[in-house]
Amino acid sequence: MEMVIDCHAHLHHHSSRTWQEDDRKLIEAADKLGIDKLCCSILPPRFPSTPEGFQECNRWVAEAMERFPGRVLGYCYVNPGYIREALDEIRRCVEEWGFVGIKLYNEYRCDEPVVFPIVELATELKVPILQHAGHPHYFVEDQPRLSDAGHIAQLARRYPEAILICAHVCGGGDWEWTIKALRNVPNVYLDTSGSVTDEGVIEMAARMLGVERLLFGCDMSMTAGIGKVRSARLSEDEKRKILGGNMLQILERRGGRC
């Protein structure tokens, strides 16, 4: 049995009174579901984040990597609007603290030029970018710069060496639209996470993108995450790739920290 890696998880901001207990519950949930490793970021309670805000979040992730050795892998979250601080933070997190990737949220759409230096640094460091994304068929008022799979595809065509992960296909609106938009951009992976458990989503993604481009994730919807991969009409070998094999290959680009 290959490793099971949740490519999209979150630890809890320390402003929450119950953050320690909630973090522990996440690890316990992973134990129950057979998830070996969780790729985690911490996001601030309010956006856009300041440099102090994202630095604090990343420091807490680094501490969690020590608290849960071998279980928590770190994503460095930054706001590209503070580009100098963001680039310094990414370099520190990846080179000094062993983070495995970058998490971008919705402060900017991912195809805006302010994001480009981050993609260039991610490519240099050989780490993926997990991009928050969604494509509802209505304007999301509290996320005016929400990226969708089309924007990620645009970015991927500009940077074909970059490894981009389109977040939570099962929590980002019309998943059929998202899958179709990613069809011809081989350097974009699709994260299966989200609370939606619609029958057929995994098979459609596998058929259109290939199983090699699918990454298992939960984004805290734990039984949904495991359950939909288990239900999917795919071979055990294909499921192993989705559950961890593909993410492992991405992580090995930087020297196999697992």
> In whole angstroms, how close is the CB of 172 to other proteins at the nearest point?
7
Taking CA atoms, 122 is separated from 195, 206, 214, in Å, by 28, 26, 20
**What single DSSP character describes residue 135?**
B
The region of 85-93, 148-156, 225-233, 246-254 touching other proteins under the rule CB under 8 A is 225-233
Q: Which of 66, 67, 63, 86 is nearest to 76 (CA)?
A: 86
Distance CA 105, CA 26 (A): 21
Distance CA 16, CA 184 (A): 41
Distance CA 5, CA 72 (A): 10
| Cβ closest to other proteins, residue 49 vs residue 221 | 221
Q: Which of 4, 5, 26, 250 binds other proteins (CB under 8 A)?
A: 26
Tell me: does residue 223 bind other proteins (CB under 8 A).
yes
Tell me: does residue 226 bind other proteins (CB under 8 A).
yes
Distance CA 194, CA 218 (A): 6
> x/- binding map, residues 3-22, to other proteins, per CB under 8 A?
-------------------x
Query: Measured in whole angstroms, how far is the alpha carbon of residue 8 from the centre of its chain?
Result: 4
| Cβ closest to other proteins, residue 112 vs residue 174 | 174
Tell me: does residue 179 bind other proteins (CB under 8 A).
no
The region of 71-79, 123-131, 134-142, 246-254 touching other proteins under the rule CB under 8 A is 134-142
> In whole angstroms, how close is the CB of 189 to other proteins at the nearest point?
21
Question: Is 219:197 a contact under the CB 8 Å cutoff?
Answer: no
> In whole angstroms, how close is the CB of 24 to other proteins at the nearest point?
11
The separation between the first and the last C-alpha atoms of the chain, rounded to the nearest angstrom, is 15
| Residues that bind other proteins in the complex, under the rule CB under 8 A | 22, 25-26, 28-29, 32-33, 134, 136-138, 171-176, 195-200, 220-224, 226-228, 230-232
